Chain A
Amino acid sequence: AQTVTQSQPEMSVQEAETVTLSCTYDTSENNYYLFWYKQPPSRQMILVIRQEAYKQQNATENRFSVNFQKAAKSFSLKISDSQLGDTAMYFCAFMKPNAGKSTFGDGTTLTVKP
């Protein structure tokens, strides 16, 4: 079974600064997908970024980028130029292709301070 660990229950960052959220996972699979989801106070779950394990290049979406270290089973999220609207809970998630089960971490609550 897969496990996903987010070791930082809470983090804060000043507006315009950079913050990194950590995520580690455990799997024996070679092909899989990793996701970061954002859950703002509205509770809506929003996909932030996705990484395919077979791709060595780290995924990037505007101010959001990941540092994917497959051998270390690490998948951290970097948010650059933090904005007040980035305040949310962030979940790391793992999924295998052609398999219905997904595994989420416990979440990291990020507060961006003005």
Chain B
Amino acid sequence: EAQVTQNPRYLITVTGKKLTVTCSQNMNHEYMSWYRQDPGLGLRQIYYSMNVEVTDKGDVPEGYKVSRKEKRNFPLILESPSPNQTSLYFCASSLSIGLPTEAFFGQGTRLTVV
């Protein structure tokens, strides 16, 4: 089954404790992206990757890091989480950036930073 898998689904952590949210897709998609969803603000793009070893900033990259060492994985790293990073996070992938098609989204990760 074609899917994007995020882990964990829920996470409560403390300020400053490094964490990683994993994202994996099994569709051999070139393009992957991370979003955060906050009430009244829609989805805002954090980082995206057009292919292996190619990443770029979205609209709200501060406080986040990503890497794309393999095509299927695109982890989101919070080196020193802060309460303003409490949010619902989505990872997405799509086949090709040249011709945007349907983006497959993960199930979401609810992160709370206290």
Contact = CB atoms under 8 A, between A and B. Distances in A.
B59 A97 contact: no
Given A100-B31, A100-B97, A101-B59, A47 B102 contact: yes
Interface residues of B, number: 28
| Interface size range of chain A in the complex | 20 to 34
A100 B50 contact: yes
Given A33-B100, A44-B107, 6 more contacts: A45-B103, A98-B98, A100-B48, A101-B58, A104-B44, A106-B41
Interface of A: 4, 6, 9, 33, 35, 43-47, 50, 91, 93, 95-107
Interface of B: 31, 33, 35, 40-45, 48-50, 56, 58-59, 88, 90, 92, 97-103, 105, 107-108
29 contacts: A4-B42, A6-B42, A9-B40, A35-B103, A43-B88, A43-B108, A45-B103, A46-B105, A47-B102, A47-B103, A50-B100, A50-B101, A91-B42, A97-B97, A97-B98, A98-B97, A98-B98, A100-B48, A100-B50, A100-B97, A101-B45, A102-B33, A102-B48, A103-B45, A104-B42, A104-B44, A104-B45, A106-B41, A107-B42
